[in-house]
Amino acid sequence: MPPTIEVSTADFAVAEQPTVLISRGVGSCVVICLYDSTRKLGALCHIMLPKRPENADLNPLRFADTAIPLALNKLVQLGGQRSELFAYVVGGANMFQNLGTFVNKIGDQNVTAVQTILAQLNIPIRTTDVGGDQGRSVSFSLDSGALQVTH
């Protein structure tokens, strides 16, 4: 059985094969998996919101615009090559349908922010499983790059 690392909301992990990165309870949040298939290195980042408010003293791992670059930098420090990376994007469900427009659309906003950031970083998205109204769990195997999403 390969080692596993469970990644909580507003956190990330970077590892190499044969590790499996796992995140559960992905609702309106978004999980971003970055993978270097040549080196069998990957990162899993579980963000809550699209953008960190300016001058806010908040955990940067909660926000797509700050968490993704932090996870990417750690992956590169471990030997990952930016030019070899691709991404999987999972989550962004519409979990709060009756709580107002902003909250109702937070899943969509998260997905859009992640897609924009990855495009700016020139990291192609290989697969998405986004939207809907159900939460998900993610298992990302670094020996093969296989992504398993459970609804």
Q: Which of 122, 151, 138 is nearest to 24 (CA)?
A: 138
DSSP conformation letters of 31-82: EEEEEETTTTEEEEEEESBS-PPTT--S-GGGBHHHHHHHHHHHHHHTT--G
Q: What is the DSSP letter of 105?
A: T
Q: Is 29 among the catalytic positions?
A: yes
Identify the active-site residue in 20, 29, 33, 47.
29
First-to-final CA distance of the chain:
23
User: What is d(CA 150, CA 25) in angstroms, rounded to the nearest whole number?
Assistant: 10
Catalytic residues: 29
